[in-house]
Structure 1
């Protein structure tokens, strides 16, 4: 509910503080007094698109602040939570406009964008009038309104879940077909490449090991001859044989030298032992260098084959084994693809059937609710002096979607036998106002927690019809706060709270102000609405009668 509205330096208003109440709030005033300025200011703070120049002449900035009650469970709380703004018991919106057109907004003292304001406004305020393009005249919202009237939340949830399951199943089947088509397009390559890799069977790290072994074998061919010569030099015909001869000769001479050769002989013995050890090691190395020429050839062939396949497929040699596994996986998909697609198609058929059932149940609920809404509208139109008009909710089949496949439109025929058509094209101004009011009365279930604004919705009607309009507005105000801008004394008399919009000129400056009226002031204002510029006692008497009748209702 709109609790308060503060306006500073906007259009013709220099300073205005309004405290609104629950029930039916009535704003009256002479044509041109500035009643539409209040709606412009409220629309500005709610983020609606409107006039470009709003700042009052002579002021640098204009500002509007709106305060709303925000009970637990109100739809605005979800918008605040998504925007990261604390939801308090009250909601305070403030928006400033500079003369250059720069706009800044705050929600509960947090900076907010115009988009956040507009999303909040959808949960706070509905504006209805003869040029309404946001609410009941917008065909895109008719299905939502019918669903609300039908209480179709559970059926809608079921349809949305079935639609998601259907979409997921179709995407899975399409993706499987795309994968299969991609694999089929390269089947010949896959089978050839997988065969090559399977025949070679490369392993991770094998290329490096083969390269080391190849270099060892190539080096062995170059050094084997030198190692053999070294072994020959160390053996019996070389150093070892000469050392043995020296030892034998020294041993024969040592007896006559009384120990002079003992140290030399001991050293020579140690040398002979070291030579024997060196000969053993060199012989072992020579055996190791005894390379099979066929092994070198085989090693080189495998090494070159691995490197060639790596270049061919654009992968590292160590990644060939993983690449081969990928090829085998694709071939397995190819071989099993038809069976997989058949299973996925079966899931699509099941999901389609589930969606058809959910959408069908939703359509049945909508058709039943459409009949009830049409009957309720017929009952509402009669007191509004439109008993000959026919309101009909049409439901046609459209493209399937998450909320079913129904196209819903509200149509009217204002004269018997005339073809029905859209609300805004068939009805005249006064008729349209009454259609919208009757429809809103029937859809009050959708107005919980909302402030409903009716901008001269009673234009073009008078007398008993205007009284019926006022009583419907009063009835509607029992479910939601209602603000009505009116020129009808019958409607004004039924208001629970009454304000008069006045325009004055002082020092060459035109300003508008809004004055709350007490009982006597209401009598004068309604008398003015009845009589015009000259208010007579007879007009006052008629005004008192209207107020008395409204109080007794």
Structure 2
């Protein structure tokens, strides 16, 4: 319940404090007195999108504070918990609009976003005027309103999940079909290229190894003769043999010289070891350089084949292996494509069945909810002097989508046997007000703790019909809180609490004020609404009669 509204420096309001009460609260006043500004200010603190310029001329900033009572279990508690904001039995919303357009909001003295305010407002206030902004006159919103009335959120969530699954399966199949079609267009190339790769089977680094082997074999013929001569010169017939003879001669002489030749003999032994290693190295090199003359031709042929294949596919020779793997993968996808498509088609069929089942279940639930809504609205129309009118929730089938296969439209006929049509086209102004009131009562009646605001819902009606509207509003307010902006004395007379909105001029500036009315003041205000600026005794008597019921 909205307990209080504090407005400072907003439009033509300098300072205003309102303390609202449970039951039916009426705000009356001349056209242009500022009643709509109260709603703009309340909408501002609730995060609604409205006028861009709200700050009173000459003020640095405008500010609105709204205080709500939150009973245990109120839906706002869940919003506060999700936003990480403190929750008590009192909710204080404050929002400031600076002159430069910046907006700042607090919930229970904690900074918050406008999105949080809007989420809270959905649980706190329901605003309705003749030019409805919540979808009652727009058929595009009727399906959602029916789902909310029927409490079909779970079925709707299941349907959306099934739709997402079906869409994902459809896209997976389309991607696979496109990929397979692309591969099939190059099937001949793939099979030929894979066959070439398999026949050649290039190894990583093979190009460099073959090139080195080729260069060595080409050079071996030129250097092998020199190495052979060197090996011969180092061997037993050359330096090694001469060194051996010298060693024997020195050893024989050294035996007679008491060790004087030992250093010479030791040095010669070391030289003999080095000569032996050099000779063996030369022999080994000769063995390495020995090759079959046809081997050079074979190496060159393979090297040239690898390089030709690399040029053909525009890759480096060492990349042929990974390139071949890619070809093999694409060919494998081609060969396995039909089996994959079969599996994806089966998955799509299964996802389609899940969606169809969910859509059918939601359609059946909507049809049941539509029947209940039609009966509830018809029951509401009777006390509003429209017992002969007909309200119908029309459902028709549309192509499948994330919201199901149903199109929903609220249709009315003002008299039995007359053709039905959309609310905005069939009903007159007064009839439209009553249809919308009946609908609003039915669609929001299941939301406890909701403050309902009706902005001139009685426009276009008078007399007994206005009295019927007022009595329905009073009945609706008996279990909660209703605020009504009205020009109808019949409606105002049935209010439990009454405020008059009026303008005054101070120092050349127009300001709006709101005054709570006592019993005598209420009589005068309702008499004014009946007779105009001049309040006659007859008008006052009529006002007293209206208030007496």
* TM surpasses 0.5: yes
Q: Tell me, which stretches of 5 or more residues in structure 1 are unaligned?
A: none
Tell me by how many angstroms 1:463 deviates: 2.6
Q: Can you list the C-alpha shifts for 1:271-301, whole angstroms capped at 9, x where unaligned? A: 4454344323322232222233433443444
**Contact 2:214/2:299 (CA < 8 Å) preserved in 1?**
yes
What SS does structure 1 have at the residue aligned with 2:511?
A: strand
What SS does structure 2 have at the residue aligned with 1:382?
A: helix
Structure-2 change in CA distance of 1:350 and 1:535 (3 Å): same
Structure-2 change in CA distance of 1:274 and 1:480 (3 Å): same
**Contact 2:81/2:87 (CA < 8 Å) preserved in 1?**
no
Cα distance between partner residues in 2 of 1:469 and 1:267: 131
Structure-2 change in CA distance of 1:307 and 1:5 (3 Å): farther
Correspondence list, 1:307-318, <5 A: 307-315=307-315, 317-318=317-318
Match of 1:400 in 2: 400
Cα distance between partner residues in 1 of 2:294 and 2:446: 91
Tell me by how many angstroms 1:401 deviates: 1.5
**Contact 2:156/2:403 (CA < 8 Å) preserved in 1?**
yes
What SS does structure 2 have at the residue aligned with 1:514?
A: strand
Q: Can you list the C-alpha shifts for 1:504-527, whole angstroms capped at 9, x where unaligned? A: 223332211111223333333333
Match of 2:194 in 1: 194
What SS does structure 1 have at the residue aligned with 2:391?
A: strand
Structure-2 change in CA distance of 1:77 and 1:311 (3 Å): farther
What SS does structure 2 have at the residue aligned with 1:436?
A: helix
Correspondence list, 1:459-538, <5 A: 459-478=459-478, 481-538=481-538
Structure-2 change in CA distance of 1:307 and 1:530 (3 Å): same
Structure-2 change in CA distance of 1:339 and 1:480 (3 Å): farther
- Aligned-CA RMSD value: 3.2
Correspondence list, 1:47-62, <5 A: 47-62=47-62
Correspondence list, 1:305-454, <5 A: 305-315=305-315, 317-445=317-445, 447-454=447-454
Match of 2:85 in 1: 86
Tell me by how many angstroms 1:333 deviates: 1.8
Tell me by how many angstroms 1:63 deviates: 2.7
Tell me by how many angstroms 1:219 deviates: 5.1
Tell me by how many angstroms 1:542 deviates: 4.1
Match of 2:104 in 1: 105
Structure-2 change in CA distance of 1:395 and 1:250 (3 Å): closer
Cα distance between partner residues in 1 of 2:350 and 2:181: 24
**Contact 1:395/1:408 (CA < 8 Å) preserved in 2?**
yes
**Contact 2:63/2:94 (CA < 8 Å) preserved in 1?**
no
Match of 1:35 in 2: 35
Tell me by how many angstroms 1:34 deviates: 1.6
**Contact 1:145/1:446 (CA < 8 Å) preserved in 2?**
no
Tell me by how many angstroms 1:205 deviates: 4.2
Structure-2 change in CA distance of 1:322 and 1:445 (3 Å): farther
Cα distance between partner residues in 2 of 1:384 and 1:265: 137
Structure-2 change in CA distance of 1:325 and 1:70 (3 Å): farther
Correspondence list, 1:62-73, <5 A: 62-69=62-69
What SS does structure 2 have at the residue aligned with 1:510?
A: strand
Q: Which stretch shows the higher mean deviation, 340-349 or 107-116?
A: 107-116
Cα distance between partner residues in 2 of 1:153 and 1:182: 43
Structure-2 change in CA distance of 1:461 and 1:256 (3 Å): closer
Cα distance between partner residues in 2 of 1:369 and 1:270: 111
Match of 2:96 in 1: 95
**Contact 1:451/1:483 (CA < 8 Å) preserved in 2?**
yes
**Contact 1:54/1:97 (CA < 8 Å) preserved in 2?**
no
Tell me by how many angstroms 1:307 deviates: 4.3
What SS does structure 1 have at the residue aligned with 2:384?
A: coil
Cα distance between partner residues in 2 of 1:251 and 1:118: 113
Cα distance between partner residues in 2 of 1:307 and 1:184: 28
Tell me by how many angstroms 1:230 deviates: 0.9
**Contact 1:146/1:369 (CA < 8 Å) preserved in 2?**
yes
Correspondence list, 1:122-141, <5 A: 122-141=122-141
Cα distance between partner residues in 2 of 1:199 and 1:293: 25
What SS does structure 2 have at the residue aligned with 1:25?
A: strand
Q: Tell me, which stretches of 5 or more residues in structure 2 are unaligned?
A: none
**Contact 1:474/1:495 (CA < 8 Å) preserved in 2?**
yes
Tell me by how many angstroms 1:14 deviates: 0.9
Tell me by how many angstroms 1:348 deviates: 1.9
**Contact 1:166/1:352 (CA < 8 Å) preserved in 2?**
yes
Q: Which stretch shows the higher mean deviation, 485-494 or 313-322?
A: 313-322
